[in-house]
Structure 1
Amino acid sequence: MWRSAQASDNRVSPKRVPASVRAVASVVLLSLGGCGMGGFSLDKVEIDRSIVTSNVPSTNSGTATDAGFAADQITVRNAASSADLEELGGQPVPWANADTGSRGSISAIAETRIGSELCRVFSVTRESFDGVILYRGRICMMGAGVWRIEEFKAV
């Protein structure tokens, strides 16, 4: 019975492995051994400042200095001021600015009087390459149908 067990044992003895295979295996094992001995650590990684790429200067998006944001504010002001609140019946007003690629919707438009001025307060979403942001806005009529932005800030 021992001979049948011995005959089915297909292990390869080291003597049968060619010398070239043993040499390649030794090189691979030695190479991998170097990696395991602390050859690479994320703690040792530093920023490579020699690589120079083109980039877009960062701006504080959503501020008065952002020309695209200012253009979007004007587009929202125009849409909110021209909306017929009775006809809307509480439905949101979509807006889009082809120059900046931004879009969104104006909702919860309510008309109020602040002193003698007629104002509209609203919520507006702005979808741009920066993401989607919700704003709270207020515009007031200065006279002769001219509206000015009183408030436009992120919620």
Structure 2
Amino acid sequence: MEAFFNLISRLGRFVIFVTITWLLQGCIISGDKLDKMGATATPENSVDYSMMTGSVASQTTLTSDPIILSDQLVIRDEIKAIENVNASPKEVKWDNTITGSEGTISSIVESKDKGRKCRKFKATRSAYDGENLYHGEICEMAPDVWTMTSFDMAH
């Protein structure tokens, strides 16, 4: 009888070992390794990389200068406050009482980008570092929530 239980015990350990080994092979040989091995080399079952769904377009890197960031917020708020872009004045003055910067916003054009409202603009900025012209864009991410998507100095 003892030999029978010993055989069952060994058989059980063997089955567990084979099962774990079989399961781990799925972790070792998966994904792009199958493509490299030729396992999915046929056109019928290869991965289609031609269409990217849910991809996000790269955004312009915005400055990390706290003074310019503060000025961007003031400019954004001035543009956001315009109810009707078509009926707005050609130039809107802005000033930042915190940084002492000031300027004008012009050429405001509203468009739809992937269902969201965006406004492109030109802005002048007079500050301690001189006067510059910027091209920028703000977009409405949610109702009454606007973000600066680009703000680049014109060269």
User: TM-score, normalising length from structure 1?
Assistant: 0.57
Q: Tell me by how many angstroms 1:115 deviates.
A: 1.1
Q: Corresponding residue for 2:97?
A: 98
Q: Tell me by how many angstroms 1:86 deviates.
A: 3.4
Please give the alpha-carbon distance, in whole angstroms, between the structure 2 residues aligned to 1:106 and 1:122: 7
How many residues are treated as equivalent by the alignment? 92
Please give the alpha-carbon distance, in whole angstroms, between the structure 1 residues aligned to 2:110 and 2:65: 28
- Please tell me the residue identity of whatever aligns with 1:86: N
Q: Corresponding residue for 2:131?
A: 132
Please give the alpha-carbon distance, in whole angstroms, between the structure 2 residues aligned to 1:93 and 1:136: 15
* Structure 2: tracts of 5 or more residues without a match: 1-61
Moved runs in structure 1, 4+ residues, more than 4 A? none
Please give the alpha-carbon distance, in whole angstroms, between the structure 2 residues aligned to 1:139 and 1:122: 8
Q: Tell me by how many angstroms 1:81 deviates.
A: 1.1
Q: Corresponding residue for 2:88?
A: 88
Q: Corresponding residue for 2:33?
A: none
CA deviations 1:114-153 (Å, max 9, x no partner) are 1111100000000001110000000000112100010001
Q: Tell me by how many angstroms 1:101 deviates.
A: 0.2
- Structure 1 vs Structure 2: percent identity of aligned residues? 34
CA deviations 1:63-119 (Å, max 9, x no partner) are 622111100000000001112323325x10100000000000000000001111110
Counterpart mapping for 1:50-65 below 5 A: 64-65=63-64
Contact 1:83 1:93 in 2 (8 A): no
Counterpart mapping for 1:39-78 below 5 A: 64-78=63-77
* Structure 1: tracts of 5 or more residues without a match: 1-62
- Please tell me the residue identity of whatever aligns with 1:128: A
Please give the alpha-carbon distance, in whole angstroms, between the structure 1 residues aligned to 2:143 and 2:82: 17
CA deviations 1:18-51 (Å, max 9, x no partner) are xxxxxxxxxxxxxxxxxxxxxxxxxxxxxxxxxx
User: TM-score, normalising length from structure 2?
Assistant: 0.57
Please give the alpha-carbon distance, in whole angstroms, between the structure 2 residues aligned to 1:147 and 1:67: 19
- Please tell me the residue identity of whatever aligns with 2:88: L
Please give the alpha-carbon distance, in whole angstroms, between the structure 1 residues aligned to 2:104 and 2:122: 8
Greater RCO, 1 or 2 (C-alpha within 8 Å, sep 6+): 2
Higher alpha-carbon Rg: 1
Please give the alpha-carbon distance, in whole angstroms, between the structure 1 residues aligned to 2:132 and 2:121: 14
